[in-house]
Structure 1
Amino acid sequence: MMKKPLTSLVFVALLSLTACKKTGNVAKETSAADSTQVTRTVSGMYEGVLPCADCPGIETTVAFNDDATVSKTILYQDRDKTSETEKGNWKLNGPYVEVTFADNQKEFYLIKTDSTIAILDQDKKEVQTDLASHYILSKEKPLEPKTLNGNYIQGEVGKGYYQTLSLKNTTDNEFDVAVTFKAATKKGCEFKGKGVLVNNRIEVNLKDTNPNLKAIMTISFDSKTATVSTSKFNERYDLMYFCGGGGTLGGDYNRE
């Protein structure tokens, strides 16, 4: 039997080794690409209305940002228009999106499609009751910051007392927020501060203006109306700090 030259065997072995390395590299590249694609699919803002025992529903908005941060905002319908936002971080954990908030509380979501995610229980299971569809959040397009620029009026211009809420987008999702008043009296509401657009709401930390205040002032939008409130109902009186004569920054303002 004719034996193959040693050089030929070495050459075949080198080819095999090179092929294995290439296959491994391709697998790694494919895996990385798949991970990037999943991340891009998850990133975005999702909305839905969860069931509520003593109200029509809980408006829920969750935004997964590209920098692995997350913000979740809830608002109880037919309550007091207060909306509270939690912030944390998210990561992919197998087929799940695992969210960890500042208090180390965890939540789990399942990617259903490119535009929907399901809220899971702590056992990472989907809700199986007749209300299951209410635990599906759909991807929505966030508000463009510059479209919120302008003046919003509370009251009627030229007829007694009225307040003006002014919003000016500065950089990215940041805003200059101001409230002024016009009236024959010298007492009214005046405010200047900085806000950030989070889940289609502008949030203003009043502590940045006065260290003694605790409230987060929120500005939510519906059609041509901006509603000023606080993230917690029992902190709404902080909105009176900037006003004289018993006034408040809170309430509905109609776009000018």
Structure 2
Amino acid sequence: MMKKPLASLVFVALLSLTACKKTANTASEPTTIDSTQVTRTVSGMYEGVLPCADCPGIETSLAFNNDATVSKTILYQDRDKTSETEKGNWKLNGPYVEVIFADNQKEFYLIKTDSTIAVLDQDKKEVQSELASHYILSKEKPLDPKTLTGNYIQGEVGKGYYQTLTLTNTANNEFDVAVTFKAATQKGCEFKGKGVLVNNRIEINLKDSNPDLKAIMTISFEDKIATVSTSKFNERYDLMYFCGGGGTLGGDYLKK
């Protein structure tokens, strides 16, 4: 009668010993974080409209690339169609994304979810007012460069003067950009250059075409409309350099 309880005690002891070994083995294995995976999760393009004191809002786009570079593009609504891009580098610092631009200016963002980040102040604090939700940027799918390839027309074909903007996606986010014209006169706009798709806008440095020019020509997209402008409003006159008769590369072009 005593053998059965003894066997039971031995069995329980073995179970306890086995459990202790498993616990010890589990505790001895360090918990590691795959920094590469975290980087890929944060990487992407984020967009939102930040509050503005004297305009409806500031359209803001941030692209965190896997090579630790970052591009930030802002556009003030209801002012003009110019958008300005800053470039720099980014790194993870705990739950924060720290951005350092070329002028050593720093910005901080808090990782909220896999698809949202919050804009922070210089003390790494979130906005606590009723406008807090307006300081959240959401991850968005970038435009497919291949879908932007094609001809865009300014004016009416066959009715006097019209310009054609031709975009050709050559590799990844790179483009050949050309503007030609058709008219009875000999004066019009002609341009050829290289552009890069950044935050859903194509940017072309006009200095590459003429060292005396300063402007960055930008091409933004909405539905079938491509809008040609410059990154800074006061440099828009550089778009006239390539045109005769007072014309300009700037304006809206409709995709055909």
- Please confirm whether the aligned pair reaches a TM-score higher than 0.5, indicating the same fold: yes
Do structure 1's residue 63 and structure 2's residue 63 form an aligned pair? yes
Once residues 123 and 38 of structure 1 are traced to their aligned partners in structure 2, the CA distance between those partners, rounded to angstroms, is 24
Aligned match of 1:9: none
Structure 2: 5+ residue stretches without partners: 1-20
Q: Indicate the residue corresponding to 2:228 in structure 1.
A: 228
Q: Which residue of 2 aligns with 1:149?
A: 149
The answer to whether structure 1 residue 113 and structure 2 residue 113 are counterparts is yes
By how many angstroms is 1:178 displaced? 0.1
Letter in 1 for 2:123: D
Give distance in 2, aligned partners of 1:133 and 1:32: 30
Q: 1:194 — aligned with what?
A: 194
* Identical residues among aligned pairs (%): 86
Report the number of matched residues.
233
Aligned to 1:11: none
Establish whether residue 138 from structure 1 lines up as the match of residue 138 from structure 2: yes
Q: Which runs of 5+ in 1 are unaligned?
A: 1-15
Deviation sequence 1:130-159 (CA, Å, 0-9, x none): 110010000000001000000000000000
- Structure 1 letter corresponding to 2:131: L
Pairwise CA distance, 1:41: 1.5
Aligned to 1:42: 42
Q: 3-state DSSP class of the match of 1:235?
A: helix
The 3-state SS of whatever aligns with 2:235 is helix
SS at match of 2:171: coil
Query: Structure 1 residue runs of 4+, over 4 Å off?
Result: none
Return the offset for 1:40. Answer: 1.7
After TM superposition, give the deviation of residue 236 of structure 1 in Å.
0.3
What are the superposed Cα offsets for residues 219-247 of structure 1, whole Å, 9 maximum, x if unpaired? 00000000000000000000000000000
Q: 1:2-37 CA deviation, whole Å, 9 max, x = no partner?
A: xxxxxxxxxxxxxx9xx99x94xx52xx4242x223
Tell me by how many angstroms 1:76 deviates. 0.5
Aligned residues: CA RMSD = 1.4
1:83 equivalent to 2:74? Answer: no
Whether 1:215 and 2:215 are equivalent positions in the alignment is yes
Paired residue secondary structure (2:32): helix
Residues of 1 paired with 2:38 and 2:44: CA distance?
Answer: 12
Question: For residues 137 and 33 of structure 2, what CA distance do their matches in structure 1 show?
Answer: 27
> Matched residues in 2 for 1:244 and 1:48: separation?
39
Which of structures 1 and 2 has the bigger CA Rg? 2
- CA separation in 2, counterparts of 1:50 and 1:31? 36
In the other structure, the counterpart of 2:52 is 52
